[in-house]
């Protein structure tokens, strides 16, 4: 094994376990420096054949966030966020892998945000066609998710449950 230690593994695992979906946000504005760090984390995600078939839309318009929040069953929280980032797959740039690629970029962004004390929540529940129109997206654009972002308001929610490792681990010897 190499002597070079990239990051403390135990601490990193604790960090991964500590991230929570956040649905309550402070009004405090997130600086462009921090937004760009989050976008950079997305930009450096792996992608199939390194095609990077994505676009990240920073939404700071509260009126649009409110309209988005009205399109889904579990989307109300997004109106409380000072901003959000829509993760868009450019379908023609990699028709086979754009979903996987954009998902990886999203995860990088959520984790980067967490290091900055910025909470995020993946929005899945929305009327995609309505929201695509609101964002000016077209037929080649796959709207993966909109990550709401803001400094955490109140307490960090208790850890959500996870299946036991024994229940999901299989071995082939």
The binding site for ligand FMN (CB under 6 A) comprises 20-21, 23, 74-75, 77, 121-125, 160
Nearest distance from C-beta of residue 172 to ligand FMN, angstroms: 27
Residue closer to ligand FMN (CB basis): 20 or 128: 20
Which residues are 95's β-sheet partners?
A: none
Nearer to ligand FMN, 36 or 157 (CB): 157
Residues with Cβ within 8 Å of 149's Cβ and at least 6 positions away in sequence, in order, are 25, 30, 38, 81, 82, 83, 84, 85, 113, 118, 119, 120
Q: How far is the CB of 158 from ligand FMN (least distance, A)?
A: 9
Residues 6 or more apart whose CB falls under 8 angstroms from that of 117 comprise 151, 152
* Nearest residue (CB) to ligand FMN, 25 versus 33: 25
Distance CA 173, CA 165 (A): 18
Least distance (Å) between residue 118 CB and ligand FMN:
14
- Closest residue to ligand FMN using C-beta atoms: 124
Q: Least distance to ligand FMN from the beta carbon of 141, Å?
A: 18
Cβ closest to ligand FMN, residue 6 vs residue 25: 25
* Residues whose CB falls within 8 Å of the CB of residue 29, separated by 6 or more in sequence, listed in order: 82, 83
Residue among 12 and 36 whose Cβ is closer to ligand FMN:
12
146 φ, ψ to 5°? -125, 120
Distance separating alpha carbons of residues 31 and 67, to the nearest angstrom: 24
Asked if 131 contacts 68 with a C-beta cutoff of 8 angstroms, the reply is yes
Minimum distance from CB of 165 to ligand FMN (Å)? 16
């Amino acid at each position: 094994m190499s002597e070079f230690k990239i990051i403390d593994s135990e601490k990193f695992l604790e960090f991964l376990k500590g991230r929570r979906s956040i649905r309550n946000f402070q009004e405090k504005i997130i600086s462009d420096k921090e937004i760009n760090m989050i976008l950079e984390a997305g930009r450096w995600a792996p992608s199939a054949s390194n095609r990077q078939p994505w676009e990240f839309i920073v939404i700071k318009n509260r009126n649009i966030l409110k309209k988005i929040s009205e399109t889904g069953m579990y989307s109300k929280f997004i109106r409380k966020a000072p901003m959000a980032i829509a993760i868009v797959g450019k379908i023609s740039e990699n028709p086979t892998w754009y979903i996987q690629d954009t998902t990886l970029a999203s995860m990088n962004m959520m984790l980067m945000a967490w290091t900055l004390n910025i909470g995020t929540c993946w929005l899945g529940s929305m009327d995609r066609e309505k929201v695509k129109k609101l964002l000016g997206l077209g037929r080649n654009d796959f709207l993966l998710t909109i990550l709401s972002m803001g400094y955490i308001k109140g307490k960090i929610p208790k850890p959500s449950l996870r299946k036991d490792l024994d229940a999901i681990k299989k071995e082939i010897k």
